[in-house]
Amino acid sequence: MRVTPKGFGTPEVRVPRLVGLMAVDARESARAQGLLVNAPDRPDFHPTVGDYVVRQYPQPGTEVPRDSVVHVWFDFGEGDGGGGGVREPRGPLPPTGGLQRELEEPRGGGPYALALSCP
């Protein structure tokens, strides 16, 4: 009995989810399904190893002919809301006030007091 990898022997395969994978893993995952990978924003894609895929086309689960190309991007590009951006808070500042001091611990044996002892 000859065993063939999943998807081989069928004219169409499902596109795997590549978003979130490192470049090397995305290539391997696509290759396992019989697909090729291209990165339009990365001319040096083949030696790229540690960058993470942030977008892909076609979408995961789409059925495509074997040997089709899946396009992946490693940067959101301008206007797509990606990238590092500024992480520090900008105005308006939160209102002043709030707790001015730490509340004291309740003393004595109220209804929620616990007694701990050591032998």
Q: Would you list the domain boundaries of the chain?
A: 12-73
In tens, the pLDDT along 14-31 reads 999 999 999 999 999 999
Q: Is the pTM of this model over 0.85?
A: no
> Burial, 93: exposed, middle or buried (Cβ in 10 Å; 0-12, 13-18, 19+)?
exposed
81 Rama sector, left if φ>0, alpha if ψ -120 to 50, beta otherwise: left
Write the pLDDT tens digit of every residue in 30-44: 999 999 999 988 877
Strand order across the 36-38 sheet: 36-38, 69-73, 55-57
Fold of 12-73: Trypsin Inhibitor V; Chain A (3.30.10)
